[in-house]
Each structure stands twice: as structure tokens, then as C-alpha cells.
Structure 1
């Protein structure tokens, strides 16, 4: 049952209170700060994942002097950023890194005073499993599209490399297409199956032949529209990475102690800034009240309704759709069509330093391989801070689950651990028996950007004043993209 909160101005409670009269703005002003002759703007942020936390942070840093309330339905904030104890050590069991070549996450770290805790992966490289063998991750690829066909010889057969090198331009592409269909036509199915698929699966837990090129890899989509070779686009991107402003800079970053410490720090700082953070508070309904908004929370037998001047909805697409049914029906309909992929992270602890078989940062698995896991990260090898903090232990993890492949997750936690361990041994060879294991399930964790995603979501960009949306469903599933989305939504509701 949601935590009970003190009565507050503008709040009505009561058994069966499903449609009570809501107090008008002139009521219940005690305790609010008056600015320039009026009440402070009240803003509700619905959802306490990283997008909602970023929205709340943006709001409390603004010059508007607004009062912020953040409502989260589960018992914790952070969404897919989470720490759990494995073998006596708190470790990431959700997202573990951010893209360092986008500024949003690193900017947030700086604002929170966490710059001295920023850390990057070690030098060990990753690999891709192909025909039962691990091959070094090719350098200079653009979401799996090679800049040099020779760099993937071995991972692909000689015939497949020859087909790749003879790119077939064909007709100019009009409109959106899937990443896989585009690469199939231009470079051959093997490039999609063994290079593009594992990389996209690592981002979306989806399928390359269903994911929007326009949304997932816009530079490839633009090349298709312009009739330019994909290989040329990959070469240009590789040259920019090697010689441009980002040359020599790490691609990924995290925090010492784990990326899961970020929401913990945000929660602490938001509370210090006066944000009213409420977990275990399920939002049931969103309605209009003149120029404001009414947010209904709590069980059906004891509904709480509160009035706010503005609302940021930072929940996944399905709950957002339900909340928008009456106030923005076109946006609600668009969001209802977004599918999500479920997955699980299996984290294993081994006694002692990393065994010799953990000779890189991890590996990716194409769906063409007869394995259940789709990737593995050798955490203690990838993150030097973790190895230094816990030299007596080695941590690694495996991910299970792709879009519409929920059957792989219909196992007990113990069974998932055994499946993951069997697959790891199949790829790596001998591996010690773990001393501890943890399974973190992410049901409906990753939105799928189907072909036409951007156009389909056009109604979500045309909302009533004082209402904005943020989260992974819109313009990117990575942590920096979610931070940007949340902060943009916060700015939008403060714009007259």
C-alpha cells in the first residue's frame, strides 16, 4: 500500500474518493513561497527513473522557484540503474555505463560534484562470437557496418567479405526502413546477422530487421535517402573518431562504486533542494483542472488528488498512454503502440582474480549462434576500479532475453544462472563454479523503435501547455539520451 503522506494544501482524500472536488488555486496557499506577487509554480514529475530524476533536477535548478513533487510507483528511484549485493559486494545489476561522447551524463556528474568519481573501461577489448569462436571486435565500425571490409575477415567468411566489399546501392530509399533491411540490401545478410545484430541487441534487446534506421542510426538512414554508400559513411565516421575532436577520448564512462550510485546521489540532492520525493506512490489518473492538472494517486479505496500547475510524465510508454487517455488522446494512442523487450542480467562472483579465459572486456552473441545469452561482460576486467576495490573476487555478468523471446526468461532464477553458466563455458571453456550469483529481471525494460517510430510519435510533440513527456520511448534509450529527454521536458513545462 502506498506510503501515507501528510495532508497538504490542494489535496483531498477519502474512501472511494474517485472524483472529488479539487481545491481551486486560491485555496491552500499556506506554506508556499510567494514570488513576484504570486504563488510558486507547482510541478509534478511522474516517474522516478533517470529521466524523471533529471527532470526534477532541472526544475529545482531553474530560476522559476517552482515546487517539485516526484512520484514513483515502486519502492525505489533509479529505474534501470540499480545496485544489488552479490557475494557481499554492491555492484551494478542494470545499466553499467554511459556513452561518454555525448555530454549529458558527464555534465550531470559535474553538477552533482561527482567528477572525481568518473571512471572509464580498461584497455581490454571486446569480441563477437561467430561460428562458435570469439573474434576481436572490429575497429572502425558504425553500428556494425565496417569501414574496412578486410577488418572482418574471419568473423565473416571470405565470400561474405567479398559481398560486403561490393556494396549494391540500388534505388534511393524513401521514408524509413529497418536497419537490417537496409544493410541486407547494401552489404549482405551476413553483415546484419553477425555484426549489426549483436550491437543493436546490446542497445535495444531487439532485432535489426525491425528497428528503425531513422531512429537508431540516422546517418545510415540519411545515406540511404541520398544514395550514398554505407561503407563511405562508416569510413567518414571512423576517420572522425580517429582524428576529430573526440580522438583519444574514452567512448564509455561510469562512476567508481557503480553507475547505480547516480540515482542515490540524485535522490539525496533533490531532497536537500526541497523536492518532495515519494516512492511506492502509484499514479492512477491525470486530469485537467482549468489551467492546471489533477494527479490521482493511491489505492482505489483511498484516492489522493492533488492539483499542480504543470506535469512531466516520465514513465514508460504503457503507463504514460493510460495517463494521457483523456488529456491527450492522440499521444496516448501513439504511445500504446510501442512494444518493449524484457531481459535479465545474471551476475556471477568467482573467488580469486580473473581466470585466464577472461582475456577481454566481454563478448557479444549474434542470434545466429546456438546460445541463450546475448552478451557477457567481464566486469572485473572491464572496470579497473572494481578489480582494485575487490581483488579477492572476480565479477562477470551475462544478459538473456530479446524482443518477443520471453520464453528464454520463463525459467527460475536458479535455472537462468545454470543456463548462463553453461553458455559461458561453451564460449570460454573451463570456468570456476561461482561463489555467488544474482538475477535481475527487467520486465518490459527496453522500448523498441519500430520502423516509422519518429513519425508515429508526432502527436507526443503536440501537447497542452504545462504537460511534457520524457523517457526512453522517445529519442534514445541510452542514459545520456534519457537525461536529455527529462531535462528538455522540465524546460518545456516552464516555458510560457
Structure 2
């Protein structure tokens, strides 16, 4: 290469404008200031499962509404996007389980529903069930050497009631899945590690006062976590990143120097040639785009099932509202209720409570994997269901509903089936053989916002490494 020759600025396409795609675009643009980065989102807006809608005249979250702060990725991203001052902690994290017709306090210090001590589960569990929990039994095969279903493992060791009344509702709230289908290794890694070591799943009482955590376990954003996409868009604008909405990527093709994306309708497609691509879309479209290039990864992703759910947000008059016990409650599916959880948003977040002196916001969620029929009801029916069952849980009818909103999330939650961790490793290994290509999103390392941000950072680092390594002059070249 001559002294005057200049390598062109690398071009990077990010397919998908959800949390993963926006994060990947930020990471690439910041790491490679000269790069030309384009985000392609097929929908009319960016943000994925982070969204705010107006309910009773106020914008509130209708998707994810909190961030797991013990993982730093999401709260750190909020800070990088200029909103660190808006991070906030819940006013209360005291949650309940609506079991056998009553609200029972959720046992503290659980590992995704596995109690620290049998006594802590008393109330949610009846005395014979507490006795079975205390009678911890070994796994028949000894220490774990391969993945198993959460429900099978915990029920065998601690009893079926622990799964039905504690683990199942928690997993339903996070994954909208079922304990007897979900991977222990992927969804409950702390329990998996104990199983591998052959240790007890009961931690016992810890002597002395507990050490205060470095930061609260959950965080929110004043104004809603749904502000995050807008903050990211503003930041991407300062970095010169182009964001195209309404841009469906129909195909991905190899070229001599990188990748070509076929974008738009079948009748009027356009081509975008780039040096690297991050696929930050759900498993099904990722599988379709990968199929010509990484058949094994495409096949594995095609087998990933997804669950749909709906969030019903209610605004009710403050006058006459019964006391709200804590931040909300979870519902064991064994009880046959229509909702799977409720969040008392105004009790949980100070900024929500301050929105309106006359109105209180709360929400309920509906839908688990394989239960699509529950979501075939009309919006009006879902609102009526939420009103009736939240009132029943509180043992008092809710006051007048001023406004309501139903947000349906179709196929939003990938299901981490047994063997998920190995499946993801195989997908990434297959994709890694394709220079300049990486994958990110909720289908890999976790469905929460911090895990999705982490997967996007990992994908962006792979792309940046590829582009940086390629830009280093080879032997015989002169910079």
C-alpha cells in the first residue's frame, strides 16, 4: 500500500433496533469513531420490549420496567447515555405470592424461588410441604454432569410444592416459561453450580447481620425504563449513526470483502454493502438470514421456541384503593388463575406515585409458553380479567378504572430449553467462522435488559476486533 493510500472507513450494519441492536451500534461507533454504522429496524419504532405509552395522561412503561442492578451492564449504559442522575431504586421490593387464595410474603433470600431455609417458606407452603422441603434428598445420579429441567431437579430434591408455589411463578415472571421445560443451567446458574458440586440447595441461616449490597438489586429510571431507546437514539445521533426504521432485511449475502444486505420489499429491494454485520433480531429471523452461511447455527436457532405475553396497565382512582402490600405479587399457575403476576407500580416507584394525586397506576401480566389461547381474548376482556383478579388478590374490588392499556408482546421471550448453554456455544462457534458477523439478543445469555446489553457488547467487540485486525497492514505493506 502506498503512503498516500487510505483505507476506507469501515461500514457496519446492525440488524434490529431493540436494546441489543442499539447497544451494539453504540459500542461499535464509540470504538471505531470513523466507522459508518447503520441500524436497520423493520418496525415503525426502535426499542423492542422497552416502550412507554400514555395511560391516564401519563407516560408509563408497558414493557420492562426495572433493571437487575446486580449486573452492571444496563445501569452503566444508562449512565453512558447521560441519564445517570435519573437512576432510581424501588421504594419497596417486598413481593408476595398469591397462593391458595391468599397473599403470602415471598420468602427472602431465595435463589429464584428456592428458599434459604425451610422455615422461611412457611405460609406459602403448608406444613407437610415445609417438612418435605426440609427433607432434602440427593439427585439420583449424584452431582450433575449434564443439564436438566429446573422443575425435575428441584422437585426431586426439595419437593413438588417448592416448584409449584415458588419456582414456577418466578420463572413464569421472568421467562413466561414452565419449570419442567426450562434449563437449570441457563436459568438458575447458582442452583446448577450447587448441583454440580453436589451441595445442599438450602443455604441455612447466615450468622450476624447481612452485609449490605454494594448497590440495590434492582434499579429503575425516572420517567420509565422505556426512555432508554430515546436516549440511545440521541446518543447515536451525536456519533453519526444512521437509524432506518421500516427497513426489513430480506437476505444476507457474502461478498469478496464483506457482506451485502438485501433491504426492503420484495418488489423494490435495495442493497447495502458493509464490512461487518451484527444480527440483533429474534431467533427465527436470525436463523433465516444465517441459513445460507451457517447451517448448523441456523438449525439450532430455528428450534428455539418463544413465548408471548401481554401487559395490562391500569389507572384507577386513588380514593377507595385498598392498601397495596409491597411491590406486587406472583401467581402459581397450579392455582389456575388468568394473570401470572401483578406490579403495584405506584407503590414500587416513587416517580410513578408522584404522577397524579387522584390516580394510581398498576399492572398485570398474562401469558406463558404454550398458552396462546389466554392471549386470544380481546383487550377489553384482558382488562376485565386484570381488574377482577387483582381485586380478588387484594380481597377488595379495585376502584373505578380511569384508563387502561394492553400491550401485547408476541414471541418476545425465547425459551431456554434443557441444553441451552451448549446450544448457544455451538451457535456462536458456527457464526465465529464467518468473518465480520456476530449475533446478539435475548436468545443467548439471558432475557433481562442487562444480559441483552451484555450480549450486544460481546457481539460489538467481535466485530470491532475483526475490523481492527483487518486494518493492520500485512507483511510487505507500508502504512
Among 191, 198, 203, which residue is 2:162 paired with?
191
* Cα distance in structure 1, aligned partners of 2:82 and 2:267: 43
Does 1:446 pair with 2:413? yes
* TM alignment of 1:338-487, pairs within 5 A: 338-352=304-318, 355-428=321-394, 429-462=396-429, 463=431, 464-487=434-457
* Cα distance in structure 1, aligned partners of 2:198 and 2:66: 35
* Cα distance in structure 2, aligned partners of 1:360 and 1:458: 39
Change (3 A) 1:63 1:44: closer
* Cα distance in structure 2, aligned partners of 1:158 and 1:220: 24
Among 141, 154, 172, which residue is 2:123 paired with?
154
Change (3 A) 1:35 1:135: farther
The answer (yes or no) to whether the contact 1:41–1:309 under 8 Å persists in 2 is yes
Q: Deviation of residue 359 (structure 1)?
A: 2.6
Gaps of 5+ in 2: 467-479
Q: Alignment partner of 1:268: what SS?
A: helix
* Cα distance in structure 2, aligned partners of 1:149 and 1:51: 39
TM-superposition CA deviations, 1:272-307 (whole Å, max 9, x none): 211010001111000100130000011111010111
* Cα distance in structure 2, aligned partners of 1:118 and 1:76: 24
Does 1:492 pair with 2:450? no
| Corresponding residue of 1:260 | 226
* Cα distance in structure 2, aligned partners of 1:420 and 1:35: 68
Q: Deviation of residue 53 (structure 1)?
A: 0.4
* Cα distance in structure 2, aligned partners of 1:417 and 1:76: 25
The answer (yes or no) to whether the contact 2:306–2:369 under 8 Å persists in 1 is yes
The answer (yes or no) to whether the contact 1:122–1:382 under 8 Å persists in 2 is yes
The answer (yes or no) to whether the contact 1:124–1:359 under 8 Å persists in 2 is no
TM-score, normalising length from structure 2? 0.93
Q: Deviation of residue 112 (structure 1)?
A: 1.2
Does 1:229 pair with 2:200? yes
The answer (yes or no) to whether the contact 2:388–2:397 under 8 Å persists in 1 is no
TM-superposition CA deviations, 1:8-38 (whole Å, max 9, x none): xxxxxxxxxxxxxxxxxxxxxxxxxx99821
TM-score, normalising length from structure 1? 0.89
Change (3 A) 1:476 1:298: same
Question: Does 353-362 or 406-415 show the bigger shift?
Answer: 353-362
Q: Deviation of residue 229 (structure 1)?
A: 1.1
Q: Deviation of residue 370 (structure 1)?
A: 2.6
* Cα distance in structure 2, aligned partners of 1:352 and 1:139: 30
| Corresponding residue of 1:87 | 56
Question: Does 117-126 or 297-306 show the bigger shift?
Answer: 117-126
Q: Deviation of residue 219 (structure 1)?
A: 1.9
Among 282, 285, 292, which residue is 1:319 paired with?
285
RMSD between superposed Cα atoms in Å:
1.8
TM-superposition CA deviations, 1:303-348 (whole Å, max 9, x none): 1011100000000000100011102111111100000000000000
Change (3 A) 1:437 1:75: same
Q: Alignment partner of 1:277: what SS?
A: strand
Question: Does 309-318 or 269-278 show the bigger shift?
Answer: 269-278
* TM alignment of 1:206-355, pairs within 5 A: 206-232=177-203, 235=204, 242-243=210-211, 246=213, 249-352=215-318, 355=321
Q: Deviation of residue 457 (structure 1)?
A: 2.7
The answer (yes or no) to whether the contact 1:83–1:94 under 8 Å persists in 2 is yes
* Cα distance in structure 1, aligned partners of 2:410 and 2:229: 20
Gaps of 5+ in 1: 1-33
The count of corresponding residues between Structure 1 and Structure 2 is 458
Q: Alignment partner of 2:107: what SS?
A: coil
* Cα distance in structure 2, aligned partners of 1:458 and 1:113: 34
Does 1:130 pair with 2:94? no
